[in-house]
Amino acid sequence: QQPVQSPQAVILREGEDAVINCSSSKALYSVHWYRQKHGEAPVFLMILLKGGEQKGHEKISASFNEKKQQSSLYLTASQLSYSGTYFCGTATAYSGAGSYQLTFGKGTKLSVIP
């Protein structure tokens, strides 16, 4: 089932902060965050795993609430280059046999203006 992202869109002025949320109705094993600019491929930002492991971009932080099956992406001191559509991709419980597909939300469009 597709995770739900909020907000759908947000406009920021340079230097402002934003939070993008991703929630799932299923138990999650990991959450993956990507940014996609128009006409380009999604670019990996962050992966958060059940149990607290994280790996990702230095200037971007995120949290993963395993009890609530929610993740939030924190963008601080936004820059013009942060503009794009942010997607969360979720992976449900790892079966051991290998279910590696990600299910992506519909995205959050972030626009940073001068």
Residues that bind other proteins (CB under 8 A): 2, 29-30, 32, 34, 40-44, 47, 49, 53, 55, 87, 89, 91, 94, 98-107
Instruction: Give the Å distances, CA to CA, from 76 to 61, 67, 69, 95, 102.
Output: 9, 25, 23, 36, 26
CA–CA dist 38, 27 (Å, integer): 31
Using the minimum distance from each CB to other proteins, give the nearer residue, 82 or 87: 87
Using the minimum distance from each CB to other proteins, give the nearer residue, 42 or 70: 42
In angstroms, give the least distance from the CB of 43 to other proteins.
7
| Cβ pair 31, 88 in contact under 8 A | yes
In angstroms, give the least distance from the CB of 26 to other proteins.
15
Using the minimum distance from each CB to other proteins, give the nearer residue, 16 or 47: 47
In angstroms, give the least distance from the CB of 114 to other proteins.
26
Using the minimum distance from each CB to other proteins, give the nearer residue, 24 or 30: 30
Residue ranges in the chain assigned as alpha helix (H): none
CA–CA dist 92, 112 (Å, integer): 32
